[in-house]
Amino acid sequence: MFTAFLIKYAEIGIKGKNRYLFEDALIHQIKFALKKCEGKFLISKTQGRIYVEAQEEFDYEETIARLQHVFGISGICPMIYVEDEGFEKLCETVVKYVDDVYPDKNKSFKVNCRRAKKSYPMESMEINAGLGEVLLNAYPELHVDVHEPELLLNVEIREKIYIYSEIIPGPGGMPVGTGGKAMLLLSGGIDSPVAGYMIAKRGVKIDAVYFHAPPYTSERAKQKVVDLARLVSRYTGPIYLHIINFTDIQLYIHEKCPHEELTIIMRRYMMRIAEHIAKETGCLGLITGESIGQVASQTMSSLVATNEVCELPVYRPLIGFDKEEIVAVAKKIDTFETSILPFEDCCTIFVAKHPVTKPNVNIIRRHEHNLDEKIEELVKTALETDELIIVE
């Protein structure tokens, strides 16, 4: 029965003079999200509100699901709209609306009219009272509560008349693209897809890099990362995923450096390479799924060591999250089931029995000099053989 949606947005409403930039970005993202939906939609903006109107038959559930992936939307209100054919006709429409949407009418209600079309012959208060009365007559089980109604019936009078009462929650956040771009270090684990989601939620466009170590990591492990990127891209839009062959670098570190420092040194090279690609592609930061103390390479001391090699800010949105909290988000965004598929990731193969938990940066730097002979060449080759997959 619904034929349109009022899109509610929270934070972008308070951006002052730049507000239209955010609104336009949100409209762009909505258009993009609905492009693959069945049906044609007209998306418009008037007086600080965004409307999505179906122009033909459409799939209601699918449309809602797609809108629920658009950051910047705080609520989606399914609406009906009718031509203005006089107040009596409006009363009929409202009575039918309540019947269609609320089979159980034993609830409190309030009519809330917004008269944007000032030439409408009645005032808002009059309309509220008139419609309220008609509804009470039609459905005696209803009762009025003007403070905390269970059913808030909104009637907006514009060129057409819009009626809505339900609010379906949106994902919140800011429209992707309003906050610049960042490079996500995406592994096949639970954490990094969640980290990417969280930064994208703040309006940041996401590129990603995955360090692949064939034959130690399989094609299936790589496919899993592509699949995860695809799941995240439902929120972020297309993701440029760089696949870097990391095997030779890893083997070289393995050959030349103390085993207990392997992971840290490897992580430092990942960060260096990720930053190199980030800078070349206009990213303003790196994103990782690290969380303090989760593993040896994520203690405060280890983070000092991995952080040291980067100039760009490193965003670690999960830094204070427990695993359980991360899992809850992973489930919410549907990446969890893919993340727990049992394909080895790059780090599990080269892990030492007793990795350092308090690496000393000076010692790490000194041991990295063991790599001086070949490492520059290996990094160069790795960058040259970057495989770019556009995931959407």
The site for Mg ion (CB under 5 A) is made up of 187, 189, 345
Instruction: Tell me the one-letter amino acid at 171.
Output: P
- Of 191, 207, 275, 368, the one binding ligand ATP (CB under 6 A) is 191
In terms of CB distance, is 187 or 298 closer to Mg ion? 187
190 part of the interface to ligand ATP, by CB under 6 A: yes
How many degrees, rounded to 5, is the angle at CA 238 between CA 284 and CA 344? 85
User: Minimum distance between the CB of residue 187 and Mg ion, rounded to whole angstroms?
Assistant: 4
Nearest residue to the partner Mg ion, using Cβ: 189
User: Minimum distance between the CB of residue 55 and Mg ion, rounded to whole angstroms?
Assistant: 46
247 part of the interface to ligand ATP, by CB under 6 A: no
* C-alpha gyration radius of the chain: 27
Residues 2, 41 contacting (CB under 8 angstroms): no
Nearest residue to the partner ligand ATP, using Cβ: 189
- Of 51, 71, 162, 211, the one binding ligand ATP (CB under 6 A) is 211
347 part of the interface to ligand ATP, by CB under 6 A: yes
Which of the residues 297 through 336 are near ligand ATP (CB under 6 A)? Answer: 297-298
368 part of the interface to ligand ATP, by CB under 6 A: no
What is the DSSP code string of 71-130?
Answer: TT--EEEEEEEEE---HHHHHHHHHHHHHHH-S---SEEEEEEEE--TTSSS-HHHHHHH
Residues 351, 264 contacting (CB under 8 angstroms): no
User: Minimum distance between the CB of residue 240 and ligand ATP, rounded to whole angstroms?
Assistant: 14
- Of 185, 228, 356, 371, the one binding ligand ATP (CB under 6 A) is 185
Size of the site for ligand ATP (CB under 6 A): 21
Q: Could you give the CA distance from residue 9 to residue 23 in angstroms, rounded to a whole number?
A: 9
Tokens representing 103 are 């089979």
207 part of the interface to ligand ATP, by CB under 6 A: no
Which of the residues 257 through 286 are near ligand ATP (CB under 6 A)? Answer: 270
How many of the other CB atoms lie within 10 Å of CB of 202? Answer: 17
In terms of CB distance, is 95 or 295 closer to ligand ATP? 295
Judged by DSSP in three states, 7 sits in strand
CA nearest neighbour of 200 among 239, 242, 235: 235
Region of 69-77, 79-87, 185-193, 231-239 interacting with ligand ATP (CB under 6 A): 185-193
In terms of CB distance, is 98 or 356 closer to ligand ATP? 356
User: Minimum distance between the CB of residue 258 and ligand ATP, rounded to whole angstroms?
Assistant: 18
In terms of CB distance, is 187 or 233 closer to ligand ATP? 187
CA quadruple 34, 116, 20, 171: dihedral, nearest 10: -40
Instruction: Tell me the one-letter amino acid at 198.
Output: M
CA nearest neighbour of 163 among 99, 221, 223: 99
Provide the phi-psi class of 41: left if phi over 0, else alpha when psi is between -120 and 50, else beta.
Answer: beta
Tokens representing 284 are 């303003």
User: Minimum distance between the CB of residue 244 and ligand ATP, rounded to whole angstroms?
Assistant: 8
User: Minimum distance between the CB of residue 375 and ligand ATP, rounded to whole angstroms?
Assistant: 18
Binding footprint of ligand ATP on the chain (CB under 6 A): 185-187, 189-192, 209-211, 270, 288-290, 294-295, 297-298, 345-347
